[in-house]
Amino acid sequence: MSFHKHVLSNGLTIIGEISPSARSVAVGFFVKTGSRDETSEVSGVSHFLEHMVFKGTPRRTALEVNFDFDRIGASYNAYTSEENTVFYAAILPEYLPDAVDILADILRPSLRGDDFDMEKKVIIEEIGMYDDQPMWCAYDNAKKAFFAEHPLGNSILGTPASITALSRDQMQVYYDRRYVAPNITVAVAGNFAWDAAVRLIEKHCAAWPNGSAPRGDVRPAPPRSHRQVITKDKLKQEQVFILAPGPAADSPMRYAADTLAMIIGDDTGSRFYWGLVDPGLAESADMGFHDYEGTGGYFISFGCDPERTDDNLALIQEILREAQREGVSDQELAVAKSKILSRVVRGSERPMGRMQALGMGWTYLKTYRSVDEELANFDAVSQSDIRGVLDRFPFDELTVLALGPLAKLNGV
């Protein structure tokens, strides 16, 4: 594998990792914008705009966009997060020019008023669909409670009220400000020729506007002791989320934090699994580590019969306190490393996985990390590193949100 980078005169960055043995190629346009970059007046605009990008351009109708992707057998999609909006496609190598043509074209969307009004109804329906999913609803509300006034607490989807009030002109202003060339990274991975790819992307993107799209209010999220119950009588299970601070995306501690989360809350073979799931106390119980620009967090969740909620919450808190006091065992550390290394390797075997890793790595760190470097960083995590992240980010103050039939938790 070989890594390459080129910056166009308008500031758009192109990065690529060539794998001659691959049988496909993946390309993604990473726009550094998401819900944390929104004001309350335009809440949900990033995700809404992701939808609008596929509604047509001066060159293509929405039907033609989909047909042109299908014609080349592309696996394509897009997603919006708190910090990024990503548009991507995986294709056979001979169709890379077509894929770049389509992706670059839709990233200059028409944003027609009729399409905007129609898609607004789709977005509001989507918000309702997610509100009907207990796990998602609990997650979204727990995130809001934990981050509080921090911009990462902004809703990705927005609300029916904010989407209803959003105007097409407000979206255009947001698009013009955030979708400038220096705020976009194009990542390519798989079997392709670098020089040809650069010429191809330059052909389609060199005329994109330059400009500054800074991200404000980048700061750590402080710990927050908070308990909240949202009662939904019709649900049969209680869904509980517990959040605590962790290291940011650019912190060397993130490798230890990810490893610790695997030990405590992986969905198989972890302390939560053996303590809650295997004995049948909870249907699910897991812990993940999420890193963002400027901050990070541990996201713990479990679902169970309502009458077991308080006992399970106490058990989870005891598992966290035990890890805080005593750390982890050498065996647990070794097993977690094996799981993570396997995950990294398997995710990197396909160009799509490497393209995503390349794009995200560059967006957050402005650096290239090969698969071997990523493996070495996880393999180097030591007991001292685990103790370091536990001491720096203790599980002393927790944000707890429960959603389900219960009217209260113990102490709430």
Q: What are the beta bridge partners of residue 298?
A: 244, 289
Exposure b/e, 75-107, CB count within 10 A at least 16 = b? ebebebbbbbbbbbbbbeeebbbbbbbbbbbbb
| DSSP 3-state of 189 | strand
d(CA 88, CA 110): 19
The residue from 17, 38, 41, 50 that is catalytic is 50
- 312-315 long-range Cβ contacts below 8 angstroms, 24+ apart: 312/240, 312/276, 312/281, 312/282, 312/285, 313/240, 313/242, 313/400, 313/402, 313/409, 313/410, 314/410, 315/275, 315/276, 315/281
- Which of 239, 196, 178, 205 shows the shortest CA–CA distance to 401? 239
What is the H or E stretch that residue 125 is in? Answer: helix 113-131
Residue type, 87: F
| DSSP 3-state of 169 | helix
Tokens, residue 346: 């398997």
Q: What are the beta bridge partners of residue 188?
A: 16, 27
- Which of 162, 151, 158, 171 shows the shortest CA–CA distance to 127? 158
* 82 has catalytic annotation: no
Please report where in the chains the tokens 């049988």 appear, as a residue.
Answer: 23
User: C-alpha distances in angstroms, 363 versus 44, 183, 193, 269, 407?
Assistant: 21, 9, 23, 33, 43
Q: Which residues are catalytic?
A: 50
